[in-house]
A and B are shown apart, each in its own frame.
Chain A
Amino acid sequence: MIDVVVDGVLRGGIYALAALSYVIIYRASKIVNLAYGAMAMLAAYLYWFFSPMVGPVLAVLISVGTLVMVAFLVERGVIRPMIGEPIIQIIMATIGVAFLIRGALLAFLILGPRLPGFQYQPFEVHPLPTGIYRLGDLAINANFLWAFIASLASFGAFLAFYRYSLLGVAMRAMSNDRQAALALGVKPVESYMFSWAIAGALITLSGLFYASIFGGVAARVEEIGIKALPVIILGGLDSVGGAIVAGIIVGLSESFGRLYLDDVFGGGFGDVFPLILMVLIMLFRPYGLFGTERIERV
Chain B
Amino acid sequence: MPAGIFFERYRRDMAFLKWPIHYVGLAIGMAALYLWPLAAGYDYLLRLAIWIAAWSMAAAGLNVLFGLTGQISLAQGAFMALGAFTSIWLATNGVPPLLAIPLAGLLVTAVGLIFGLPSLRLKELYLLISTLAAQFVIDWLLRTEGMAWFTGGAYAKLAPPLTIGPITVADTYGIYIVILTIAVLHLAALANIGRSYIGRALKAVRDRDIAAEIIGVNVFKYKLLAFMISAYMAAVGGALWAFAVRSVTVESFTFFTSLEVLAAVLIGGLGRVVWGSVLGTVFIIGVPEAIKMAFLWLGVRGIDIALRDAVFGALILAFLLYEPLGLTELLRKIKERIRLFPFRYY
Chain A residues engaging chain B, CB cutoff 8 angstroms: 31-32, 78, 81-82, 85, 87-93, 95-107, 110-111, 226, 229-230, 233, 237, 265-269, 271-272, 275-276, 278-279, 282-283, 286-287, 296-298
| A103 with B312, Cβ < 8 A, contacts A85-B324, A272-B137, A278-B133 known | yes
Q: Residue B211 at the A interface, CB < 8 A?
A: yes
Nearest chain B residue, comparing its CB with the CB of A106: B306
| A298 with B124, Cβ < 8 A, contacts A103-B310, A107-B310 known | no
Q: How far is the CA of A97 from the CA of B313 in the complex (A)?
A: 6
Main secondary structure of the interface of B (DSSP, over half): helix
Minimum CB–CB distance for A125 against chain B, Å:
26
Q: Which residues of A contact B217 (CB under 8 A)?
A: none
Inter-subunit contact B129/A32 (CB<8 Å): yes
A sample of 15 inter-chain contacts (CB < 8 A) reads A95-B263, A100-B309, A101-B313, A102-B309, A103-B307, A103-B310, A229-B133, A233-B129, A266-B145, A282-B118, A282-B122, A282-B126, A282-B129, A297-B210, A298-B210
Q: How far is the CA of A137 from the CA of B210 in the complex (A)?
A: 58
Minimum CB–CB distance for A19 against chain B, Å:
12
Give the interface centre of B133, B211, B263, B311 by most chain A CB atoms within 10 Å.
B133
Inter-subunit contact A283/B121 (CB<8 Å): yes
B residues contacting the other copy or chain, number (CB 8 A)? 49
Q: Which residues of A contact B124 (CB under 8 A)?
A: 87-88
Q: Which residues of A contact B122 (CB under 8 A)?
A: 282, 286
| A82 with B145, Cβ < 8 A, contacts A88-B72, A269-B140, A298-B208 known | no
Q: Which residues of B contact A268 (CB under 8 A)?
A: 140, 143-144
Inter-subunit contact B121/A103 (CB<8 Å): no
Choose from B126, B143, B262, B303 the contact partner of A92 (Cβ within 8 Å): B262
Nearest chain A residue, comparing its CB with the CB of B74: A34
Q: How far is the CA of A274 from the CA of B72 in the complex (A)?
A: 21
Inter-subunit contact B320/A93 (CB<8 Å): yes
Minimum CB–CB distance for B271 against chain A, Å:
12
Q: Which residues of B contact A272 (CB under 8 A)?
A: 136-137, 140
Q: Residue B214 at the A interface, CB < 8 A?
A: yes
* Given pairs A98-B313, A103-B307, 16 additional interface contacts (CB within 8 A): A91-B128, A92-B316, A93-B320, A101-B313, A111-B303, A233-B126, A233-B129, A268-B140, A269-B140, A275-B133, A275-B136, A278-B130, A278-B133, A279-B130, A283-B118, A296-B210
Chain B residues engaging chain A, CB cutoff 8 angstroms: 66, 72, 117-118, 121-126, 128-130, 132-134, 136-137, 140, 143-146, 208, 210-211, 214, 259, 262-263, 266, 302-303, 305-317, 320-321, 324
Minimum CB–CB distance for B167 against chain A, Å:
41
Q: Which residues of B contact A85 (CB under 8 A)?
A: 320, 324
Q: How far is the CA of A187 from the CA of B305 in the complex (A)?
A: 42
Choose from B117, B146, B305 the contact partner of A266 (Cβ within 8 Å): B146
Q: Which residues of A contact B121 (CB under 8 A)?
A: 282-283, 286
Give the interface centre of B128, B211, B306 by most chain A CB atoms within 10 Å.
B306
Q: How far is the CA of A31 from the CA of B6 in the complex (A)?
A: 49
Inter-subunit contact B140/A103 (CB<8 Å): no
Nearest chain A residue, comparing its CB with the CB of B122: A286
| A78 with B136, Cβ < 8 A, contacts A107-B307, A282-B121 known | no
Minimum CB–CB distance for B263 against chain A, Å:
7
Q: Which residues of B contact A103 (CB under 8 A)?
A: 306-313
Minimum CB–CB distance for B285 against chain A, Å:
15
Minimum CB–CB distance for B124 against chain A, Å:
6
Choose from A81, A271, A275, A287 the contact partner of B321 (Cβ within 8 Å): A81
Inter-subunit contact A298/B214 (CB<8 Å): yes
Inter-subunit contact B214/A107 (CB<8 Å): no
Q: How far is the CA of A237 from the CA of B123 in the complex (A)?
A: 13
| A100 with B132, Cβ < 8 A, contacts A266-B144, A298-B211 known | no
Inter-subunit contact A110/B303 (CB<8 Å): yes
Nearest chain B residue, comparing its CB with the CB of A276: B137
Give the interface centre of B66, B124, B310 by most chain A CB atoms within 10 Å.
B310
Q: Which residues of A contact B210 (CB under 8 A)?
A: 296-298
Q: Which residues of B contact A286 (CB under 8 A)?
A: 121-123, 126
Nearest chain A residue, comparing its CB with the CB of B147: A266
Q: Which residues of B contact A226 (CB under 8 A)?
A: 132, 136
Minimum CB–CB distance for B308 against chain A, Å:
7
Nearest chain B residue, comparing its CB with the CB of A275: B133
| A78 with B321, Cβ < 8 A, contacts A92-B316, A99-B313, A103-B313 known | yes
